[in-house]
Amino acid sequence: MEVPDNKGNIIKRKVTKKWLDKMIASDKASIIDKAFVLAHILDPLVSEPIIENWEIDVDISRESVDQYKDKSGDIYILNSYTEGKPARMIVRKDIWDDVLIQMNEQ
């Protein structure tokens, strides 16, 4: 289950089916048929990593998510610019981590 914290971030929680059914029955929770993935983004124009909630099959294909997601289901994106035009590349977490270290060393 994914729930927002008090800062607007999405937190993943494991719950029992019985608990979820009770929350749905009391209108305190609902099943959303749209699937989302947490995208961790590095951009050379921004000093800190960006975290966005991307809708699968709208912002990113399900195939890309399935291929690149980490153990927690998140994906990792590197932004780049060629002649001022932005481009995005999906990478494995270990590559993203290496780029983050390089960015922090500069």
Question: Residue 89: what pLDDT?
Answer: 96
Q: Which domain holds residue 87?
A: 34-105
CA–CA distance, 55 with 31 (Å, rounded to integer)? 15
pLDDT by residue, tens only, the chain of 106 residues: 777 778 777 788 888 889 888 988 898 876 665 688 999 999 999 989 999 999 888 999 989 998 999 988 899 999 999 999 999 999 999 999 999 999 998 7
One domain, residues 40 and 83:
yes
**74 and 98 belong to one structural domain:** yes
In this structure, the answer to whether residues 83 and 39 fall within a common structural domain is: yes
> Do residues 63 and 97 both lie within one domain?
yes
Tell me what pLDDT residue 80 has. Answer: 94
The model carries a pTM of 0.68
Q: Are residues 42 and 89 in the same domain?
A: yes
Is the domain of 13 the same as that of 42?
no
Tell me how many domains the chain contains: 2
Per-residue DSSP letter, 14: -
